[in-house]
Amino acid sequence: MEHTEYVNLGQFETYIRYYFHDKHLLLEALSHSSYTNEKRKSRNSNERLEFLGDSVLSIVVSEFLFHKYPNLPEGELTKLRASMVCEKALHVFAQEIHLGEFLLLGKGEEHTGGRERSSILADAFEAVIAAIFLDGGMDAAKRHILRFIPENPEEEKPIGFRDYKTQLQEIIQKNPEEKVEYVLVDESGPDHDKAFQVEVCLNSNVIGKGVGHSKKVAEQLAAKEALLLMGYDQA
């Protein structure tokens, strides 16, 4: 696919569930500096939008955590926010909306893997936030950001926002006949402090187990164990 400024904005808008009044804002958010420098376009790269998006993201996440954890001290809130807006987390969020497919990159950046580069994706994710903010206001930006924020961030903090399920799926899908399934095998404890035990199965064989205070966390931990057992030490 040739990536030009005629990139399919409509498709991207369906992924982010926001439709722009000013499409030029979205184009700017998707324009990496390598593209604007190479094309000598009068349009700006996404660097200025990234600057603004970083602040919008920070205030939305800060407000969310402030209300979610009324008894958590400032130091803990700061750590939690940092884990949710770090490059690693934003890279995962960007992948969820297929952001890399829609970036406008210069040829050099394109050929050196810029479309998958964590820093480029994280910066562009912030630029898209700013574009939504400028186009639709804070409420629109807030709705967009909160889509990516887990219901209980404190529970997910130990995972470090590493998406083990996606990593496992990418490895398994190299063999189309293989099938991965997550099975809830146990649920215990009172409603306010439940523990969920999940097994991840490959063709009905258990390859990992995980226990967490939500099914989502348990599934991620099961996938992490599976990756370790398969020899992926970086998990």
pLDDT digits over 25-69, tens only?
999 999 999 988 887 766 689 999 999 999 999 999 999 999 988
Tell me the pLDDT of the chain averaged across its residues.
87
Average pLDDT over residues 146-155: 80
Cβ neighbors of 49 (< 8 A, separation 6 or more) are 25, 28, 29, 126, 127, 128, 130, 131, 134
pTM: 0.65
Average pLDDT over residues 175-204: 86
Which strand (E) or helix (H) includes residue 196? strand 195-202
Average pLDDT over residues 115-126: 93
Average pLDDT over residues 99-107: 92
Q: pLDDT above 70 covers what percent of the chain? A: 90
Question: Which one-letter amino acid corresponds to residue 89?
Answer: A
How many CB atoms sit inside 10 A of residue 180's CB? 18
Provide the token pair at 13: 């808008």
Query: Is a pLDDT exceeding 60 seen at residue 189?
Result: yes
Which residues are annotated as catalytic? 54, 126
Query: Is a pLDDT exceeding 50 seen at residue 3?
Result: no
Average pLDDT over residues 112-132: 93
3-class DSSP assignment, residue 200: strand
Q: What pLDDT shows up at residue 160? A: 46
Q: How far is CA 137 from CA 34, 102, 229, in A?
A: 29, 23, 47
Strand order in the sheet with 205-212: 180-188, 195-202, 205-212
Q: What pLDDT shows up at residue 234? A: 53
Query: Is a pLDDT exceeding 50 seen at residue 159?
Result: no
pLDDT bucket at 158, cuts 50 / 70 / 90: very low
